[in-house]
Structure 1
Amino acid sequence: MSNHRQKSLELPSETFCLSLADGETWVFCANDETLEWTNRFCKIIGLTNGAKVPHNYRRFIVIRTKRDSADSESSMLIEDTGFFGASAGLAWEPIRMGPVRFFYHPNGRDVICDIKDTMNWDIEIMRMQQSLYPIFRTAQVKGGLPFHASLIEKNGGGFLFAASGGGGKSTCASRAKPPWRTLCDDSALIVKQNGSYFAHPFPTWSTFFKKNEEPECNSQYSVPVKAVFFLQKASHDGIIPLGASAAAAKSAESAWQAYYNHTLCLSNADKRKLRLEIFQNALEMAKTIPMFILRISISGCFWGEIDKVFE
């Protein structure tokens, strides 16, 4: 192995890290060609440069190849990066997912993300959104799930408000007043650690298609999950407890919505497998996390309904 390759295996003591409440830490690595893209992605999800790298981490390595390059060509580029030594690139398994391509090693913890050629701003945002897939899937293996939901904090606890597009997530987030604090209004990741569940906020990616503003979202921040509410528009506010089976079904559907853009390129067999894994985690969550139907009206104060249950 050349000196260049050996040196590239070393990580800086401080860099962009995403540390989740389930104990996983992702360290983002890039070469000169992908450094700007990687820094922008890390900034959007709320990471700051200078985080110390723990001993146990996963590398998220960003490369860029030609859009029409074959998987074998990308494997050669992986080899040339020097991250894994002279022959390791040949053993990496590709997963194509629309505008990005991931490479996994059967005996490794790291992920390589090929963002392909630059096209335009909207495509780059799609790539950033798709790049979360390995992070979500790794959390899912440990019992977590992504949710298509807003995440709002009160007194140190996290409350998720789940709905499909136009179902009221952003409305709930915009109505939050102290002591309620909105952490995100569209996408959250629930992770599991020692039998407890914690939620991390993630960006509203559609915001970036309309403008280049970067709303505040600190994906490294987490709160213990106190409850999940599935929104239902109504003429009057109200709250209805859900049984475990109904709660699991609604949680699984919310997770599938959160995964939707990630699953467009999966085979039917892989989709069925993912749905089954999602539902298994949703069943376990429903045993621990209180879940409700929350009826919300146009001008009502649904916070009062929540306070009746939790205060």
Structure 2
Amino acid sequence: MSDGTMGNLGRDLIIRDQGLSLVLADGNEWLFVGDDASASAIVSKLGMILQLESMMGASCKTSVGTPRKRDDRKPSDEEGRQLYDTFIQMMKIIYRGVLNRNGLFLHGALAERKGSGVILAGPSGVGKTTASIRLPSPWRSLSDDLTLVVRDDQGRYWGHPWPGWSFFWDRNKSGRKWDSSYAVPLKGLFFLAQAPEDKAESIGTGRATGMLLETAKQASGRLDARSSDEDLLSMNLQLFNNACIMAKSIKSFTLNVSLNGQFWNEMDLALNYPIS
């Protein structure tokens, strides 16, 4: 892999043989460099969105090229398309590595309460973003659509905030940032449903596995494109295995959320937090 040039975040200085580092809670560190000046500029912009740090080396180093092909599903403006394509390249690389270490991308919002994290999962339109906005202190929303989940060598799961696909379609969100190297230990999974009254109910491992697998597929569907049948089968088997392990390790609940209720009190009760 060739070393490129990269703009140092916060300056206009170009530094050679230097990349942007993503540090994950499973102990891996990824270093991204552009393989030409154009790719470096795009990666640098993504680095600002993901709040990546500029450094010289990492355990996993990869070059990112300038996107060549277009897709009708992508944003209409040129910068949005380039950011989206490069983001997909980066996510595919990370996804393969994380998948091999029992991790997942999940279609869910990440929230933190005093050092512990939960994921509010569900399909588009169920209310993940709205729920994230409504969370009061001491809860803190870290991401509202996607979460990168990794498993460390002690078997603990950690959530990293991650930008959702809609960010690249809605250019009004261009000022948003995610601290993607920040991680919180996961204490619970909540699968959202809209309902007249707020209520959290514990679910068993089997049901949690199925719901977790569906949530993971929603998050990773774009990352399987152009994979061979053999690779796709291997990734799906690994995805299923990872969902099974995670469902056994983290408490899972369905969470009915009303329009005006205080659903976070139900989360506190489910996780044995004191009600404030």
TM-score by shorter chain over 0.5: yes
Q: Distance in 1 between matches of 2:4 and 2:66?
A: 21
8 Å Cα contact 1:125-1:205 kept in structure 2: no
Distance 1:298 1:256, change over 3 A: same
C-alpha RMSD over aligned residues: 2.4
Question: Which runs of structure 2 are paired with 1:228-307 in the superposition (5 Å)?
Answer: 228-307=189-268
Q: Distance in 1 between matches of 2:233 and 2:123?
A: 21
Aligned-residue sequence identity (percent) comes to 30
Q: Hey, what does 1:64 align to over in structure 2?
A: 66
Distance 1:206 1:65, change over 3 A: closer
Distance 1:255 1:142, change over 3 A: same
Q: Distance in 1 between matches of 2:80 and 2:33?
A: 23
Question: What is the CA-CA distance between 1:216 and the residue it aligns to?
Answer: 2.4
Question: What is the CA-CA distance between 1:59 and the residue it aligns to?
Answer: 0.9
Q: TM-score, normalising length from structure 1?
A: 0.75
Q: Distance in 1 between matches of 2:31 and 2:228?
A: 29
Paired AA for residue 187 in structure 1: L
Q: Hey, what does 1:211 align to over in structure 2?
A: 171
SS in 1 for 2:53: coil
Residue 47 (str. 1) matches residue 52 (str. 2): yes
Deviations 1:248-294, CA, capped at 9 Å, x for gaps: 11111111000112224334554333222111111111111001100
Paired AA for residue 16 in structure 1: L
Counterpart pick for 1:182 among 141, 145, 148: 141
Moved more, 247-256 or 201-210: 201-210
Q: TM-score, normalising length from structure 2?
A: 0.84
Q: Distance in 1 between matches of 2:92 and 2:136?
A: 32
8 Å Cα contact 1:152-1:183 kept in structure 2: yes
Whose radius of gyration is greater, 1 or 2?
1
Question: What is the CA-CA distance between 1:214 and the residue it aligns to?
Answer: 2.6
Structure 1 alignment gaps of length 5 or more: 68-97, 100-118
Distance 1:235 1:142, change over 3 A: same
Question: What is the CA-CA distance between 1:174 and the residue it aligns to?
Answer: 0.6
Q: What is the number of equivalent residue pairs in this alignment?
A: 253
